[in-house]
Structure 1
């Protein structure tokens, strides 16, 4: 009998959740409540649909050859995948057995739940670091920053290939001192292949309206191109490859 988990959806995407064309599973449940979250429908595990690892592996196998030819793989995202560590570990192990590249998209807040076996079956970690300032991080996410940084250190010690993701929100995550602080930290990690600066957008606002939830950043503008360039240049100034 295989593990059962709560999943919101799955889809095929390209160049967003890892290298190449990906089969992406979005798990349900997340302990964070990021002000800019684009997937509020994944917050509660009870809102997902129960499925087994075997059911998902059967679905992934249908696309296996296409994914291989496209140079892609599999990504488990969310929500927060590490809220269901046993299910996710078994799923990653099964996908590795299919010979596909695997990626874990996580905030790192529950990184202590990721066993060494789970990480051994993970080829790439997509690690979201929301803010360098602990006070702003809690305001932005409702949780502490320290567990994410501890997980980042652990990934570095394991030499696990990692992409850092940083959402750039005007007035919230654009402070020059915070950028320099995060850049200094990331530059000490030996496993980071690149850092993605992701400009804030409001494409998920319609989801909030449908759920009857106010979108906290409805009045926040997207960052201007000059701001995006400035932040990328700050990271690059610390020797970090940015996109």
Structure 2
């Protein structure tokens, strides 16, 4: 009798919709990373440098095991600190399929990292966070509701902070990320407010600052979208250093990417 080895049927549970892949990422978590940028996001941040990831119907479909094998092939380059980072878009929109993906990575001894805006905390996201995400990098958009809405196009900044509270309660590692835009997010009072809010968190290892740049404008133009921050300026070295000095009062490590 001959046994046929059948290929698994594609379902939402084992398919991830991917915008792009990066084999040797060095700015998306510890060490050298295999970075997956998933397709789809519910925010439309004015400074987004990958606006082509926002549409939820774009991207390319990959089976979970196919991506796992890619990660295994890159494992020799990861060293002690490296691993896989899933970014976006917003990866938690596909948290159901990320659960078996991260589970397989952990079976292979590969470090898992999730780069998220923290807008989603359903039972799939909670399972992923609590059981399979070794690290979470949480994007803090703005410290005021008015500023959050102006930057992201969505209401309720508190969803991100509820997400942070959940991660803190789990006792698992978290990094914060924050984009510095002069006069918009890079204001001393906002930096102090953020520092005071998170100063007692035990799970936060560092905060990474992303100085504002305009490298993604051409992508907005290609999509036929208006780039509303075209008049915003980039930070001076002095402004970046001032932000670092303020945040060092509150966080163990402050890194500028």
Q: TM-score, normalised by structure 1?
A: 0.94
Mind listing any 5+ residue stretches in structure 1 that lack a counterpart?
A: none
Q: Is the 8 A contact 2:23 2:74 kept in 1?
A: no
Q: Is the 8 A contact 1:183 1:240 kept in 2?
A: no
Counterpart in 2 of 1:97? 107
Counterpart in 2 of 1:158? 170
2:251 & 2:52 partners in 1: Cα distance?
Answer: 37
2:24 & 2:77 partners in 1: Cα distance?
Answer: 12
1:130 & 1:17 partners in 2: Cα distance?
Answer: 17
Counterpart in 1 of 2:201? 189
Matched, 1:108 2:112: no
1:111 & 1:197 partners in 2: Cα distance?
Answer: 24
Alignment of 1:9-20 (within 5 A): 9-20=20-31
Does the C-alpha gap of structure 1 residues 124 and 239 become closer, same or farther in structure 2, counting only changes over 3 Å?
A: closer
Deviations 1:154-204 (A, max 9, x none): 111111111100100012102222111111011121100001111011111
SS at match of 1:35: coil
Q: CA RMSD in A?
A: 1.5
1:100 & 1:197 partners in 2: Cα distance?
Answer: 26
Once structures 1 and 2 are overlaid, which stretch shifts more, 6-15 or 121-130?
A: 6-15
Moved beyond 4 Å, runs of 4+: none
Once structures 1 and 2 are overlaid, which stretch shifts more, 200-209 or 24-33?
A: 200-209
Q: Is the 8 A contact 1:187 1:240 kept in 2?
A: no
2:252 & 2:243 partners in 1: Cα distance?
Answer: 12
Counterpart in 1 of 2:132? 121
Structure whose alpha-carbon radius of gyration is higher: 2
Matched, 1:54 2:65: yes
Counterpart in 2 of 1:30? 41
Match of 1:167 among 137, 160, 179: 179
Alignment of 1:205-220 (within 5 A): 205-220=217-232
Q: TM-score, normalised by structure 2?
A: 0.89
Matched, 1:80 2:90: yes
